[in-house]
Amino acid sequence: MEKTGTTILTYLSYFGSLAMLTVNSFKKIMYPRKTENIFEHIEEIGINSFPLVGIISIFIGMVLVMETSYTLKKFGAEIYSGGIVSISMIRELGPVFVAMVMSGRVGGAMAAEIGTMKITEQIDAMRVMAVDPVAYLVSPRLLAGIISLPALFIISFFLSIIGAFIIGVFMVGIPSGMFLYQTFRFIVLRDLLIGFIKSAVFAVVVVTVAAHEGLRAHAGAVGVGKAATTSVVISFFLIILSNLILTGIFYFI
């Protein structure tokens, strides 16, 4: 019983400190800073992630059409496979997929970078020079993530449609006009806005978790590697959890 209580308190303490870091980062996100730093982070988080996100998005669209059209063809409804792809990508798969790519590609590296600064006492040096590590290290990355991830999401959506179009038209044999009509027929502005909101929330999760783990790093190189790994694992968990909560709020409440 005592062990269970200790475990619960440990988790509460962890997520409490994570929430405090998130709030603190938002408070300092509008403080004056070098614009070049934000652009550098946007390049690292968004632009450099584009090739990976783009290629995988096309493949996801192709696979979804293959899977759905195979089943729908039994009912003579394969023309709706494009609509299933578009709704799936804009509501659920697009934001979650981009967030997970960002977590694996950027989150781990971010945690390792901040963790290395913590181990080598660079963060302590910042505090000595009256520089707030959160305002200098976390807030610019948070702002860059909130800008980059929704942009990647919308790019991912359209590229998945292109992949779906290639398979649906040239392999399944759906007329191109009918495929495009059914693809965009069921999408409404509300779905797009929800996708943007989810992407922004996931960006906050990835950046703050990575920064939190980096700031907690200790025990030398081993601690840096552990921070990077833990950052990705916890980000995945919180992305799925927050997606569940947001979907329930937007579609069932």
CA dist 160 and 164 (Å) reads 6
pLDDT at 33: 58
pLDDT at 192: 92
Quick check: helix, strand or coil at residue 174?
Answer: coil
How many other C-beta atoms are found inside a 10 Å radius of the C-beta of residue 90?
Answer: 24
Per domain, the residue ranges of the chain are 2-252
Q: What is the mean pLDDT of residues 175-186?
A: 90
CA 85 to chain centre: 19
pLDDT category, 70, cuts 50, 70, 90?
Answer: confident
pLDDT category, 163, cuts 50, 70, 90?
Answer: very high
The whole-chain average pLDDT of the chain stands at: 89
The pLDDT of residue 239 is above 90: yes
The pLDDT of residue 253 is above 80: no
CB 61 within 8 A of CB 161: yes
Q: What is the mean pLDDT of residues 55-71?
A: 92
CB 240 within 8 A of CB 96: yes
Query: How far is the CA of 29 from the CAs of 142, 213, 247, in angstroms?
Result: 8, 19, 27
pLDDT category, 205, cuts 50, 70, 90?
Answer: very high
pLDDT at 35: 60
The pLDDT of residue 31 is above 80: no
CB 183 within 8 A of CB 81: no
The pLDDT of residue 251 is above 60: yes
Q: What is the mean pLDDT of residues 100-119?
A: 91
Nearest residue to 18 via CA among 152, 204, 173? 204
pLDDT at 110: 93
CB 146 within 8 A of CB 200: yes
Of 30-39, 81-90, 113-122, 181-190, least confident by mean pLDDT is 30-39
pLDDT at 8: 85
CA dist 225 and 231 (Å) reads 10
pLDDT category, 75, cuts 50, 70, 90?
Answer: confident
CB 25 within 8 A of CB 137: no
pLDDT at 142: 93
